Amino acid sequence: MTQRAFPILFITATRIGDAVLSSGLIKMLADQIPNARFTIVAGPLAAPLFAHVPGLDRVIVMEKAKGKGHWFKLWSQVRHKKWSLIVDLRGSATALFLRRDKRAIWKKIPGEVIHKVVDAARTLKLEGDPPPPYLYITPEVQALADELLGLHEGGETGPILAVGPAANWIGKVWPIERFTQTAAQLLDKDGPMAGGRLLILGGPEDTRMVEELRMASARGRTIDLTGKVDLLTAYACLKRASLFIGNDSGLMHIAAAAGTPTIGLFGPSDERRYAPWGEHAVAVRGPRSFDQFLAIDPELSQAIRHMSDLPVATVFRAAKDLLAKVGGLTPLPVATQEAEVVAPAPEPGVDADMAADVVENAPADSPEELVQPVTTKQRAARPRKA
């Protein structure tokens, strides 16, 4: 007998990184509810991440409008259906005005600083090990990525060092010349990735900034895909990489979700919330703490190169240690745990009843910039520049 469809409205983040970090919830629901049918709501940048989710009915791109117009528009698009479950990671009141059986609404809870993966899981009242980030791709997407990397029969061999040298704010960008120096040391004939190639990834707006890195790299040993591939193709490429080094950005989280050993470079952002998530993912920072950056740039908005005090030697050492830890240069297929190295554990399960109702008084409109927990100092979190 055919099971009745279980329609799920899943409202996720505007930013790429936040959307990736909560993506494991979609996989968990898809695995545990075989008849699930997803309508996913995301911002314009993050929406393409969900193109291949199984049981996908629709991706709704929600662009911010004047006042609360974007929420009213969303309500008008989804109000005609009765939903079996509504998951709202934006903490809006939308679910309160829709027909549904169950709802799970993100709510800001004062207390300790927690990682965004854990924060998202608590929306569904999941305890223990949260579902790790996960993105779906098709065999065709992976085949395209392999072709771009020259991984066809008789093609290139050897390790691939992937880098993401861009970010959406200059304060989070490690100087490009240091990426160049680090890559040269890793790929040197005496380095831990000798004989390997350099893969450069970024958006169309990053083409100019990576030019120095591209020009300084060995001819014929560089694959520059900056501005040339979409997010899921970049994800498929990263699944073939042996190591990723990048600034705190959406691309860093995509690399960790791909299972690539990942080094995230941090300065004026909080790795307690945004470290790359995975058993083989680490956050590296220079001598200053996040709070020290806040002291000189309270709004995290100044055009200051905050990352200049992170030395090449620190990043190179972290790369060597991570490569030694993973036991070679073969990329891992799945990212399973947080940046602090812990033993893998079974993924928690869920059924429809576990997606229980949450507090009724969810705020009427919670912009993505405010969807943060409160720090341990009982201080409201500042908007994140990512």
Query: pLDDT tens across 195-237, in order?
Result: 999 999 999 999 999 998 988 887 789 999 999 999 999 999 9
Strand-pairing partners, residue 56, are 38
d(CA 265, CA 249): 9
> What is the distance between the alpha carbons of residues 23 and 36, in angstroms, rounded to a whole number?
15
Residues whose CB falls within 8 Å of the CB of residue 372, separated by 6 or more in sequence, listed in order: 108, 273, 381, 382, 384
Q: In Å, what is the CA distance from 62 to each residue of 11, 71, 162, 385? A: 10, 8, 31, 20
How does pLDDT run across 114-136, given as a tens digit for each residue?
999 999 999 999 988 999 999 99
Q: What is the pLDDT of residue 108?
A: 86
Residues 295-307: what's their mean pLDDT?
94
The yes-or-no verdict on residue 297 having pLDDT over 70 is yes
Residue with the two structure tokens 């699944």: 239
**Beta-bridge mates of residue 11:** 41, 88
DSSP, collapsed to helix, strand or coil, labels residue 271 as helix
State the number of CA atoms in the 13 A half-sphere of 306 facing the CB.
29
Strand locations in 227-322 (E): 243-247, 262-266, 281-285
* pLDDT for the residue 218: 75
Spatial distance between the Cα atoms of 319 and 197, rounded to a whole number of angstroms? 15
Determine the pLDDT at residue 156: 74
Condensed to tens digits (0 to 9), the pLDDT of residues 175-198 reads 999 999 999 999 999 999 999 999
Read off the pLDDT of each residue in 304-332 and give the average, rounded to a whole number.
88
**336 pLDDT higher than 90:** no
How much is the pLDDT for 101? Answer: 96
**Which of 245, 5, 271, 250 is CA-nearest to residue 115?**
271
Element (H, E) at 324: helix 312-326
Q: What is the secondary structure of 187-200 as a DSSP string?
A: HSTTSTTTT-EEEE
Which residue is listed with tokens 């799920």?
8
Q: What is the mean pLDDT of residues 241-251?
A: 98
Share above pLDDT 90 across residues of the chain, in percent, rounded to a whole number: 76
Distance of alpha carbon 213 from alpha carbon 198, whole angstroms? 10
- Does position 12 have pLDDT exceeding 70, yes or no? yes
| DSSP bridge pairs for 285 | 266
- Backbone φ, ψ for residue 322 (5° rounding): -70, -40
In this prediction, residue 2 has a pLDDT band, given cuts at 50, 70 and 90, of low
Q: Give yes or no for residue 16 having a pLDDT over 90.
A: yes
Q: Is the pLDDT of residue 65 over 80?
A: yes
pTM of the predicted protein model: 0.84
| Proportion of the chain above pLDDT 70, given as a percent | 84
| Per-residue pLDDT band at 286 (split at 50, 70, 90) | very high
Q: In what order do the strands lie in the sheet with 56-61?
A: 56-61, 36-42, 6-11, 83-88, 100-105
pLDDT mean over 234-258: 98
Going by pLDDT thresholds of 50, 70 and 90, the confidence category of residue 66 is confident
User: Do the Cβ atoms of 248 and 167 come closer than 8 Å?
Assistant: yes
Per-residue pLDDT tens over the stretch 84-123? 999 999 999 999 999 999 999 999 888 789 999 999 999 9
Summary mean pLDDT of the chain: 86
pLDDT in tens, 49-58: 999 999 999 9
Maximum mean pLDDT: which of 76-90, 215-229, 347-361: 76-90
pLDDT one-digit tens code per residue, 134-182: 999 999 999 999 999 999 776 777 999 999 999 989 999 999 999 999 9
Q: Please report the pLDDT score of residue 364 as a whole number.
A: 34
Helix (H) or strand (E) run with residue 353 in it: none
pLDDT of residue 232: 98
Q: What does the pLDDT read at residue 1?
A: 55
Mean pLDDT of all residues in 28-37: 96
pLDDT value of residue 339: 31
Pick 247 or 215 by higher pLDDT.
247
